[in-house]
């Protein structure tokens, strides 16, 4: 039997998900047809319903439909709930389920691929958009000593940090006053438009690890890390690991 999965987004032609999932399927000996689907705001819900009505196994959702997918689903994992957004959909007992594997994919990438640990560590999360929201609960669950969220619009960072005892927040302009961090995660989209992104040198110590969620670009953030000779990586490992968690949901071992 050939199973059908797909990723829905707009734009979608660039998506690496079909290649990544083909690799997982090969490794498990599963026959999988995984396609890219281009959707518009007014046909997204119909495409999802039609996909599952015709026996589709699972969907990945990417920009700009993660919030719409969350709203469409009848049941949500705690990670989707915390993010208010979904990147993974499937049917279970006749109900549409939603998960958000981005944050757990980030943690798995940092721990498995980049050998980072969280206990007793000071973590800086830059950004307070969808990607930061998705990362927050898994980051808190990793039990760092301290998590600081900094965003261009400080109020959005403060809203994210408010429920958590070991989290604080500020605008980017307050970063110069803070002690160095062990791990700095860039969850802003500044790199997408080649935006300037200057950070104070005092944020890093010689063993700070810098991770940019964006992948495939030499962003200003990664250049900042290189200029301070910090170990660093881009978001490709997060992409692969969020995909792995989706695949495990659709095809439990």
Residues lying near ligand NDP in the complex (CB under 6 A) are found at 102, 127-132, 151-153, 156, 187-192, 195, 197, 213-215, 235, 238-239, 242
Shortest Cβ distance from residue 154 to ligand NDP (Å)? Answer: 8
Decide whether 87 or 208 has the Cβ nearer to ligand NDP.
87
Calculated CA dihedral for residues 175, 107, 231, 157, nearest 10 degrees? -10
> Rg of the chain's alpha carbons, rounded to an integer?
18
Shortest CA distance to 101 belongs to which of 119, 68, 124, 77?
77
Taking every pair of Cα atoms in the chain, the longest distance, rounded to a whole number of angstroms, is: 59
Decide whether 48 or 160 has the Cβ nearer to ligand NDP.
160
Indicate the DSSP class of residue 38: E
Backbone angles phi, psi at 44, to 5 degrees: -55, -50
Residues 114, 137 contacting (CB under 8 angstroms): no
Concerning whether 196 is annotated as a catalytic residue, the answer is no
Decide whether 215 or 251 has the Cβ nearer to ligand NDP.
215
DSSP codes, 221-244: HHHHHHHTT-EEEETHHHHHHHHH
- Rounded CA-CA distance 96/76 in Å is 9
Shortest Cβ distance from residue 180 to ligand NDP (Å)? Answer: 20
Catalytic site residue from 16, 49, 54, 66: 66
- Rounded CA-CA distance 192/175 in Å is 22
Decide whether 52 or 170 has the Cβ nearer to ligand NDP.
170
Respond yes or no on whether the N-terminal peptide bond of residue 64 is cis (omega within 30° of 0): yes
Decide whether 52 or 64 has the Cβ nearer to ligand NDP.
64
Shortest Cβ distance from residue 211 to ligand NDP (Å)? Answer: 10
Please identify every residue annotated as catalytic: 66
């Amino acid at each position: 039997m050939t199973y059908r999965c797909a990723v829905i987004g707009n734009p979608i032609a660039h998506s690496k998900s079909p290649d990544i999932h083909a690799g997982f399927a090969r490794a498990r000996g599963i026959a999988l047809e995984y396609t890219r689907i281009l959707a518009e705001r007014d046909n997204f819900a119909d495409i999802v319903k039609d996909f599952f009505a015709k026996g589709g196994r699972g969907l990945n959702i990417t920009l700009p439909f993660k919030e719409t997918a969350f709203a469409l689903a009848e049941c949500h994992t705690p990670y989707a709930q915390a993010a208010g957004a979904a990147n993974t959909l499937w049917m279970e007992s006749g109900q549409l389920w939603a998960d958000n594997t981005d944050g757990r994919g980030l943690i798995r990438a940092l721990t498995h691929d980049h050998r980072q640990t969280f206990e007793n560590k000071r973590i800086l999360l830059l950004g307070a958009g969808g990607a930061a929201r998705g990362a927050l609960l898994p980051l808190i669950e990793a039990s760092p000593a301290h998590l600081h969220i900094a965003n261009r619009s400080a109020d959005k960072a403060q809203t994210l940090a408010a429920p958590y005892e070991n989290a604080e927040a500020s605008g980017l302009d307050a970063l110069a006053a803070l002690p160095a961090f062990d791990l700095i995660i860039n969850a802003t989209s500044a790199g997408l438009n080649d935006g300037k992104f200057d950070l104070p040198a005092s944020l890093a110590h010689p063993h700070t690890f810098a991770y940019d969620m964006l992948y495939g670009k030499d962003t200003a953030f990664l250049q900042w890390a290189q200029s301070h000779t910090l170990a660093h990586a881009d978001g490709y490992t997060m992409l692969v690991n969020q995909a792995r968690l989706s695949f495990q949901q659709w095809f439990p071992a």
